[in-house]
Amino acid sequence: MESTPLAEQLAAAERGAAAPYVDYPPTPWWYAPSLGAWAAAMIGTFTWWRENAGLFVASLAGLIAVEILFVVWMRRRHGALPMPAKGTPPAEIARMWRGYVATLPVVALIVGLVWWLVGVPAAAGTAFVLVTAGLAFYERRYAVAAAATRARLR
C-alpha cells in the first residue's frame, strides 16, 4: 500500500494526539510506596474522628495539602498530566485506564471489609499494601502499553 500525503498527515495527527500518553516519564522509585503511605495515613486519620475532632481535621487538611502539592509536582514534571476519563487516549492506554478504574472499587471494598472486621490500623496497613502493589503493577503495565502504542504508530 502506497503512502499518500493524507495518510501521512493522519498518522502524524494520531502520533501527536497520543504523545501526552506515551511520552510519559517513568515515575521515581518512591512513587508507589509514597502513595500507599498517603492512602494508609488518610485511613489512619479516622482513628481520631470520634476522639479528637481538631486532630482529625488538621491531619485531613495536611493530607489534602500533600495531595495538591503532589499533583502540581506531577503536572510540572510531565507537562500535561493525562487523567482517566479525560481526553481520548490510544486504545492500549484506554484499556489500562479501564482496568485501573475497575480495580478501585475492589480495593475500597477490601479495605472497608478489613476496617469493619479488624479495625482502622489493619485497614490502613491493607491500604498501604494494596495501593503500593497495585500502583507498581499499573506502572509496569502502563509502560508496556505505551511501548506498544509507540510501536504501532511508527
pLDDT digits (tens, 9 = 90+) for 120-139: 999 999 999 999 999 999 99
Q: How many domains does the chain have?
A: 1
Closest Cα to residue 91, out of 13, 27, 154, 17?
Answer: 17
Rounded to whole angstroms, the Cα distance separating 49 from 22 reads 42
> Residues of the chain whose pLDDT is less than 70?
1-3, 79-86
DSSP string computed for 4-58:
-HHHHHHHHHHHHHHHHHHSPPPPPTTHHHHHHHHHHHHHHGGGSTTT-HHHHHH
Inside any domain, residue 81: yes
Inside any domain, residue 79: yes
Rounded to whole angstroms, the Cα distance separating 28 from 137 reads 14
Inside any domain, residue 113: yes
Inside any domain, residue 149: yes
Terminal alpha carbon distance of the chain: 16
pLDDT at 153: 86
Inside any domain, residue 8: no
Inside any domain, residue 138: yes
Inside any domain, residue 118: yes
**Residues in contact with 114: Cβ distance below 8 Å, sequence separation at least 6, in sequence order:** 122, 123, 126
Q: Give the pTM.
A: 0.85
Inside any domain, residue 23: no
Domain span at 100: 29-153
